[in-house]
Amino acid sequence: MAVKGLGKVDQQYDGKDVKVGILHARWNNKVIDALVAGAIQKLKEFNVREENIVVESVPGAYELPYGTKKMFEKHGVDVVIPIGCLIKGSTMHFEYICEAVSTQLMQLQFQLDKPVIFGLLTCLTEEQALLRAGVLPGMHNHGEDWGACAVEMVLKWK
């Protein structure tokens, strides 16, 4: 049995009235800068006005959940895209931060009843991160996906 529309956007979305917060960690800035740029580019393609895109930063990925909550409070945005990049090192730090941040971002959207887009890359190598940010050839910029997702999640459930 075939499922219709699997993997396709089910309708066109016009984000002209959507207010988006982008909150990014400052670690791995080559990757982060590309992801933020990709998200903004896609938001504009969905007609989100530049004045409706608020960009803030936090020191690292661990601060993304709290910063996300504050973005909603401070800026009155409809959706937040927290963007971070964790790259595995030689200690358990990677696993602890990935789990804590992922869990809290998921819980936060239910607590606030607002969409929080999962913009956290969890990579085993720097090369994987650069690929997913579209810095190296071979993959597209995942920030673009997050921008499109933000507009859809706001407008679909309004």
Residues acting as catalytic residues: 93
Please give the Cα distance from 149 to 79 (Å, whole number). 10
